[in-house]
Structure 1
Amino acid sequence: MAQLSFASLDYAAKKKRTKRDVFLAEMAGVVPWVALEALIEPHYPKAGPSGGRRPFPLAVMLRIYCLQQWYNLSDPGAEEVLYDICSMRTFAGLELGRDTIPDETTILNFRHLLERHELTKAIFGAIAEFLETRGALLRGGTIIDATLIAASPSTKNKAQKRDPEMRSSKKGNQWYFGMKAHIGVDATSGLVHTAGVTTGSVHDAKVMDNLIREDDRAVYGDKGYANDRKQRQAETAGVLWAVKAKAKPGRPLSISQRRRNRHFGKIRAKVEHVFQVMKCQFGYRKVRYRGIAKNGVQVFALLALTRKIGNTDFSLPLRMPDNPNTSRTL
């Protein structure tokens, strides 16, 4: 067993466990680290026979990457908190004074490794498979929805242009500039099983088929997915079409339609919990990078880490600490 520093011993002896301590301890126990490391290991650099700087252990870098997602940390910010916060160092398996702390360039290179090999998609799929084997991810129905992730509209950059891969989308009477994250959520467990990202101008209904599983017997969605043709196809196939009815010009909704909308809306609300965790708890309200691909990598990582395993919630919405693409690409 590695010897702890006096600072770590003092921290371990404190009388109260903080919310961050509780959260990170639970994450250390429920995330399938061995399976995730096995996905990344073939692409991770090995120590060369001629010497040179040895790479940091993969387990350390993966945990630091997870800390970045949970606490909305930049690469320099992640390096800073590893020096400042003992609970985060402990979670990453680092001891100040004994271990070298990865610098921001090392953290950046690991993130680029995940982006280059699309490994967050593989992580997303691996966790889905793990949940299914544990009986947490069920079959039967899917709730579909999308959320807008804002991008900076500023042209104060070298090219003097906005990000060309981002587009504007109108919601109500308000225009938004950015991209969309589309998800399919299991109607029983509320867990994300399929996800994808598109530019902001893509209509939600155009990608709904990619979010529905072949064996789904019910489809839930908001009014943006209302489609008479798809409804007829679903009913012919014996699939429950639980998409909210949309009023047509000169034809307001009937009492029975409004009652139906309220009933299905209570089930559909589960999909909003995912976006609440991603945007409010993890702070992902605005894209960090330019381009759909790089931001899509982060979306898959965030959605993977918003999952539940067994009775433990990856988001822990009531216990979240203070802030310091089986995925199909749509």
Structure 2
Amino acid sequence: MRTLIDFAVRAEYARIKALGDDLCDIGSQVDWERFRFLEPLMYKNKTSLGGRPNIDIVIMIKLLVLQRWFGLSDPELERQVADRISFRIFLGTTEAVPDFSTVWLFRERLIKSGKSKDLWKELQRQMEEKGYAVKEGSIQDATFIT
């Protein structure tokens, strides 16, 4: 069933891509594998006791990037990723994505590890190396009052 869903999402994304998708274009310029050094610091359930499966570290970092670049709260990030095909393609997955509390916990672990600044410095370094400047923004939504 996943392959059918993947096919449909990617077919729909082709229409978006034809209109222009700066997010995916920029995302493809970043070497996301360079952030894998954070994995041992973030995930410590590799014991015989097992635990909940880890979400790929690159997806978690990309979620934080989307959140920062678009000025999204944790709950709004979850909603936007569920709603926007371009966000899912940027993440590299059409699977269900983590809920907002998982993102919050990941960010807290990242901050406690002391590597949060290293992550943003590396991302900034790569962006500057490619000649990009990021202008952070926000997604506006309509509020309906009855």
TM bucket (normalised to shorter chain) is 0.7 to 0.9
Structure with more of its chain in helix, by fraction: 2
In the alignment, the residues of structure 1 paired with residue 28 and residue 100 of structure 2 have an alpha-carbon distance, to the nearest angstrom, of 27
Unaligned runs of 5+ in 2: 141-146
- 1:3 matched to 2:14: no
1:75 and 1:107 in contact (8 A); partners too? yes
RMSD: 2.8
In the alignment, the residues of structure 2 paired with residue 16 and residue 33 of structure 1 have an alpha-carbon distance, to the nearest angstrom, of 21
- 1:323 matched to 2:143: no
User: Out of 93, 118, 129, which is 1:309 matched to?
Assistant: 129
Identical residues among aligned pairs (%)? 26
Alignment CA distance shift 1:16-1:113 (3 Å): closer
What is the aligned partner in structure 2 of residue 27 from structure 1? 26
Which TM-score applies when normalising by structure 1? 0.37
What is the aligned partner in structure 2 of residue 327 from structure 1? none
Using CA pairs below 8 Å that are at least 6 residues apart, which structure has the higher relative contact order? 2
What is the aligned partner in structure 1 of residue 35 from structure 2? 36
Alignment CA distance shift 1:314-1:34 (3 Å): farther
In the alignment, the residues of structure 2 paired with residue 125 and residue 113 of structure 1 have an alpha-carbon distance, to the nearest angstrom, of 18
Displaced runs of 4+ in structure 1, greater than 4 A?
none
What is the aligned partner in structure 1 of residue 86 from structure 2? 87
Structure showing greater radius of gyration is 1
2:72 and 2:139 in contact (8 A); partners too? no
In the alignment, the residues of structure 2 paired with residue 308 and residue 64 of structure 1 have an alpha-carbon distance, to the nearest angstrom, of 20
Unaligned runs of 5+ in 1: 132-306, 325-330
2:69 and 2:137 in contact (8 A); partners too? no
In the alignment, the residues of structure 1 paired with residue 34 and residue 137 of structure 2 have an alpha-carbon distance, to the nearest angstrom, of 26
Aligned residue-pair number:
137
Secondary structure at 2:15's aligned position in 1? coil
What is the aligned partner in structure 1 of residue 113 from structure 2? 117
User: Out of 97, 104, 108, which is 2:100 matched to?
Assistant: 104
Which TM-score applies when normalising by structure 2? 0.76
Secondary structure at 2:77's aligned position in 1? helix
